[in-house]
């Protein structure tokens, strides 16, 4: 049972991080449009908003789960991040954010959807790729190295 619970907690943390990313990317795109009106800046502000939003909600959810299991300590959080971040960060930086940038740019240039929706849809589609890959990593980490995050 604990194995399934941790699997769901891990994915909840990622999903809440994604909710933050969608909100952040959408607001970043919208604020970029309001402030500058330059559609070339929208994809960049979308990525920045995504980074801020996802980090905030991901860490908040992780801390909540640690409190719930009475495991909250910097050591425990850093233990999880030590195995999560070296894979998650490059995946997001070299795959997720470029996908987000180019999808948002495509939606802004080629569709009638506004900046807010272009940022949200781009973020959601790039997240699906990330979610699949990070769960594959989690499975490999556990099966071959017996490390659980």
Angle separating helix axes 97-110 and 2-35, nearest 10 degrees: 40
Average pLDDT across each block of 10 residues of the chain; the chain has 149 residues. List them in order.
Answer: 78 92 90 86 90 94 91 88 88 92 92 87 91 91 84
Token couple for 15: 């999903």
Task: Tell me how crowded residue 70 is: count the other CB atoms within 10 A of its CB.
Answer: 7
Q: What is the pLDDT of residue 1?
A: 54
pLDDT of residue 85: 87
Short-list 26, 38, 58, CA closest to 130: 58
To the question of pTM greater than 0.85 for the whole model, the response is no
Report the pLDDT value the prediction gives residue 24, as an integer from 0 to 100: 93
Structural domain count, the chain: 1
CA angle 54, 116, 32 (to 5 degrees): 85
Find the domain containing 53 and state its range.
Answer: 2-145
């Amino acid at each position: 049972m604990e194995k399934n619970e941790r699997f769901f907690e891990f994915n909840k943390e990622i999903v809440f991080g994604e909710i933050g990313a969608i909100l952040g990317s959408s607001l970043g795109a919208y604020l970029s449009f309001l402030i500058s009106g330059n559609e070339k800046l929208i994809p960049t502000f979308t990525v920045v908003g995504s980074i801020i939003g996802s980090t905030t909600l991901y860490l908040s959810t992780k801390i909540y789960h640690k409190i719930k299991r009475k495991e909250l300590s910097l050591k425990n959080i850093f233990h999880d991040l030590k195995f999560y971040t070296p894979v998650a960060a490059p995946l997001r930086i070299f795959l997720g954010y470029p996908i987000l940038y180019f999808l948002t740019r495509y939606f802004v240039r080629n569709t009638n959807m506004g900046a807010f929706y272009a940022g949200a849809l781009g973020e959601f589609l790039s997240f699906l790729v990330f979610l699949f890959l990070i769960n594959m990593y989690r499975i490999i980490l556990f099966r071959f190295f017996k490390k659980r995050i």
